[in-house]
């Protein structure tokens, strides 16, 4: 097998070792020869070493690096640490695209990715150097790419004649030239929008990811099937008023709309964009995106009821319905009503949108009734009292009912913008492909450098702030969020604080705010406790009451000493249990009377709390066990019977 150089062979051996888990190492490695073996750190001479061996040198007759001998056998176990054979350059090369997509990837995440993808253990130093190496390679690649932007623009204009490509650069006082703006509007997309799309344009900007940050400005239309149709875009450093004015000037010149007569622009509430539209296209109808307004509205007024009422108001086609839904919002929260009215409802509610009126030419008028509501429908003018037909461009449900009563085809009353011929005219123009960058034409302009990094105010963010729609679509949260929740005090039942900061909290009530603080150690204490238990009589035995000496019980290894004056029959007791009875109180003859054995003792202990709990549990269990054994043995000795009648304790 032949290779171009030793580096190419080393790369193949590294991939081979990582794939199969072999601990390869290079005993000889220079520009002339290469000797690879396996299991370098196997020091046990008695065990057989791995027989793998590869020897390669340069050929004499040609300039090729050839493998001269190879023993391709292994008897070693799989390894996960490969040492120096897996270099930081090898890791950086394989993960360059990942680092390019996420430049702020941490060393810990990169190490986890290496372990998951190649099943090996990389050190922190290897991952740190790999990321640094990847950044160096990416930076060098970016410099080469931005140096070809002039050639890229010329190639676009050569392959797609009639396209508009504009580029601007910034020349610094030190003489360096940096990339600033780049605008593209291809001829095929522009002609498709002019012929097959309505005069409605949506403009917006988004952030660009990667090493060189910036923003992408785009202009989109709607085709006959209501799908988005992008036809112009630009790359700028910052989304502000100046960049939007520059973008709109080029866009209006391409589509030939002048000051905007007959044009509708839809955008968000960006201040720079709103001001740029007023200055550059003052005659255009500027409408705001209802989704952006709803997202900002939900930040202040949360809840599904506010969201539903907002969309009902935004989709209202007549002013009366709009006012009704807005009054519902006002009843819930007057501030929410004021917030929406300040956003100029004429720019985001259908009830205030304008449309062209047609002069009636006949008397094909109907009244379509839905339960108690009635709507006037005029088929000649293609209008309905609900205004949905005029706003949408195709018949509403009321218009469809009137058309069906005449047995006519509803497609005859659909505007031309929604026909298949219009849809075909959008996409009948081709976008010609480009050649590779090596074949792009050379230009005499100064090659620009990548744009300078712009430091944003505040602390750098690690994650992009997701929109409300993205958060709802993600749907990974299984618990109720506490965000926006208002605490209620358990003492005064007022909202806005908890019991730890309540002004009515008594001084003797401990605060829960410092629950994470270390609790003080418990000192020596006096243990006072009473153990109560009852012996229920069985057969001719009477209950007895006695005292238990805990100190004697502890000293005699869990043997309880009872003192009683009851005449107990002489029986052989269990040898390991000692019992001495002594009457303390007068015995009552009633078998149903239960007497309790009260045990009370005060014991001073200087041991810790855990030891005290163990002594307490041990004493209780010992008393119960010995009492059961003693009574059961006495009964068996007296009656000579088995355990047919168990004793209840």
pLDDT of residue 159: 94
Q: What is the spatial distance between Cα 94 and Cα 76, in angstroms, rounded to a whole number?
A: 27
Q: Which helix (H) or strand (E) holds 114?
A: helix 107-118
Residue 29: left if φ>0, alpha if ψ -120 to 50, beta else—which one?
beta
Q: Are 314 and 292 in contact (CB under 8 A)?
A: no
Distances, alpha carbon 497 to alpha carbons 484, 488, 513, in Å = 14, 6, 12
Q: What is the spatial distance between Cα 451 and Cα 177, in angstroms, rounded to a whole number?
A: 9
DSSP secondary structure letter of residue 113: H
Q: Are 314 and 301 in contact (CB under 8 A)?
A: no
* Tokens describing residue 361: 């030419």
Q: Are 290 and 297 in contact (CB under 8 A)?
A: no
In the chain, which stretches have pLDDT less than 70? Answer: 40-48, 210, 354-363, 371, 462, 464, 467-484, 507-620, 638-649
Sheet bearing 53-58, strands edge to edge: 2-3, 65-71, 53-58, 33-38, 24-29
Q: What is the spatial distance between Cα 376 and Cα 368, in angstroms, rounded to a whole number?
A: 6
Q: Are 105 and 131 in contact (CB under 8 A)?
A: yes
Tell me the Cα Rg of the chain.
Answer: 44
Q: Which residues partner with 203 through β-bridges?
A: 219
* Tokens describing residue 311: 């969309």
Identify the CA nearest to 603 among candidates 595, 611, 594.
611
Place of tokens 């030939």: 256
pLDDT of residue 296: 86
Q: Are 410 and 402 in contact (CB under 8 A)?
A: no
pLDDT of residue 477: 52
The three-state secondary structure class of 445 is coil
Place of tokens 């080029």: 250
Q: Which helix (H) or strand (E) holds 333?
A: none
pLDDT of residue 210: 67
DSSP secondary structure letter of residue 35: E
Compute the C-alpha angle 303/304/309, nearest 5°: 110
Q: Are 622 and 558 in contact (CB under 8 A)?
A: yes
The answer for residues whose C-beta is within 8 angstroms of residue 610's C-beta and 6 or more apart is: none
Q: What is the spatial distance between Cα 479 and Cα 150, in angstroms, rounded to a whole number?
A: 53
pLDDT of residue 235: 93
Q: What is the spatial distance between Cα 256 and Cα 266, in angstroms, rounded to a whole number?
A: 18
Exposed, middle or buried: residue 224 (CB in 10 Å: 0-12, 13-18, 19+)? buried
Distances, alpha carbon 219 to alpha carbons 194, 234, 252, 270, in Å = 13, 9, 11, 15
Place of tokens 């339960």: 371
Q: Which residues partner with 529 through β-bridges?
A: 601
How many Cα neighbours within 13 Å face the side chain of 175? 0
Q: Are 95 and 116 in contact (CB under 8 A)?
A: no
Identify the CA nearest to 181 among candidates 234, 242, 254.
234
DSSP secondary structure letters along 158-207: HHSTT-EEEEEEEE-TTS-EEEEEEEEE-HHHHHHHHHHS-SEEEEEEEE
CA dihedral 464, 468, 473, 478 (to 10 degrees): 90
Compute the C-alpha angle 404/409/413, nearest 5°: 100
pLDDT of residue 232: 94
Place of tokens 């855990």: 610
Identify the CA nearest to 216 among candidates 200, 232, 202.
232
Place of tokens 């990974």: 476
Question: Can you list the positions of beta strands (E) in 289-379?
Answer: 365-370, 373-378
Distances, alpha carbon 530 to alpha carbons 86, 545, 620, in Å = 71, 15, 10
Exposed, middle or buried: residue 507 (CB in 10 Å: 0-12, 13-18, 19+)? exposed
Q: Which helix (H) or strand (E) holds 221?
A: strand 214-222
Q: Are 333 and 301 in contact (CB under 8 A)?
A: yes
Q: What is the spatial distance between Cα 25 and Cα 53, in angstroms, rounded to a whole number?
A: 10
Q: What is the spatial distance between Cα 386 and Cα 384, in angstroms, rounded to a whole number?
A: 5
| Strand 285-288 to 264-267 pairing | parallel
Q: Which residues partner with 266 through β-bridges?
A: 202, 287
First vs last C-alpha separation in the chain = 89
Q: Are 64 and 84 in contact (CB under 8 A)?
A: no
């Amino acid at each position: 097998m032949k290779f171009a150089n030793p580096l190419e062979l080393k790369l193949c051996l590294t991939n081979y070792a990582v794939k199969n888990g072999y601990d390869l190492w290079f005993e000889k490695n220079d520009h002339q020869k290469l000797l690879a073996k396996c299991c370098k750190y196997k020091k046990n001479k008695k065990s057989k070493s791995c027989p793998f061996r590869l020897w390669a040198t340069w050929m004499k007759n040609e300039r090729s690096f050839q493998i001269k001998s190879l023993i391709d056998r292994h008897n070693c176990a799989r390894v996960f640490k490969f040492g120096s054979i897996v270099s930081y350059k090898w890791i950086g090369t394989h993960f360059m695209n990942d680092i390019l997509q996420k430049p702020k990837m941490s060393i810990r995440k990169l190490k986890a990715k290496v372990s998951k993808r190649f099943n090996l253990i990389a050190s922190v130093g290897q991952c740190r150097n790999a990321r640094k190496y990847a950044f160096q390679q990416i930076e060098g690649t970016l410099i080469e790419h931005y140096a070809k932007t002039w050639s890229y623009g010329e190639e676009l204009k050569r392959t797609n004649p009639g396209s508009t490509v504009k580029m601007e650069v910034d020349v610094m006082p030190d003489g360096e030239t940096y990339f600033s703006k780049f605008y593209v509007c291809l001829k095929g997309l522009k002609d498709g929008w002019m012929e097959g799309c309505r005069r409605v344009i949506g403009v917006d900007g988004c952030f660009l990811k990667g090493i060189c940050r910036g923003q992408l400005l785009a202009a989109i239309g709607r085709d006959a099937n209501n799908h988005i149709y992008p036809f112009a875009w630009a790359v700028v450093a910052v989304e502000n008023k100046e960049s939007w004015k520059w973008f709109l000037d080029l866009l209006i010149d391409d589509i030939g709309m002048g000051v905007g007569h007959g044009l509708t622009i839809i955008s968000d509430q960006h201040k720079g964009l709103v001001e740029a539209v007023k200055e550059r296209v003052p005659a255009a109808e500027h409408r705001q995106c209802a989704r952006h307004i709803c997202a900002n509205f939900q930040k202040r007024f949360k809840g599904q009821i506010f969201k539903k009422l907002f969309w009902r108001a935004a989709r209202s086609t007549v002013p009366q319905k709009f006012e009704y839904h807005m009054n519902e919002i006002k009843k819930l929260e007057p501030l929410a009503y004021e917030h929406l009215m300040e956003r100029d409802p004429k720019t985001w509610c259908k009830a205030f949108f304008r449309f062209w009126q047609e002069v009636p030419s006949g008397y094909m008028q109907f009244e379509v009734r839905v339960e108690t509501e009635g709507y006037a429908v005029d088929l000649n003018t293609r209008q309905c009292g609900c205004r949905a037909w005029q706003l949408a461009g195709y018949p509403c449900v009321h218009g469809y009912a009137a058309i069906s009563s005449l047995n006519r085809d509803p497609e005859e009353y659909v505007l031309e913008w929604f026909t298949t011929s219009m849809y075909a005219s959008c996409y009948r123009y081709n976008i010609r492909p480009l050649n590779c960058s090596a074949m792009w034409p050379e230009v005499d302009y100064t090659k620009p450098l990548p744009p300078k990094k712009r430091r944003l105010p505040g602390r750098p963010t690690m994650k992009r702030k997701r929109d409300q729609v993205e958060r709802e679509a993600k749907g990974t949260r299984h618990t109720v969020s506490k965000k926006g929740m208002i605490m209620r005090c358990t003492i005064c039942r007022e909202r806005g604080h908890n019991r730890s900061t309540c002004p009515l909290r008594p001084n003797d009530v401990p605060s829960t705010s410092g629950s994470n603080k270390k609790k003080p150690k418990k000192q020596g204490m006096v243990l006072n406790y009473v153990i109560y238990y009852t012996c229920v009589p069985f057969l001719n035995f009477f209950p007895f009451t006695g005292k238990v000496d805990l100190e004697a019980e502890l000293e005699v290894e869990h043997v309880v000493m009872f003192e009683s004056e009851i005449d107990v029959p002489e029986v052989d007791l269990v040898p390991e249990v000692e019992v001495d009875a002594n009457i303390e109180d007068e015995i009552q003859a009633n078998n149903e009377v239960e007497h309790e054995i009260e045990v009370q003792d005060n014991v001073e202990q200087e041991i810790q709390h855990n030891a005290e709990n163990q002594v307490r549990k041990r004493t209780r269990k010992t008393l119960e066990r010995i009492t059961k054994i003693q009574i059961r043995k006495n009964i068996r000795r007296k009656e000579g019977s088995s355990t047919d009648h168990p004793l209840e304790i």
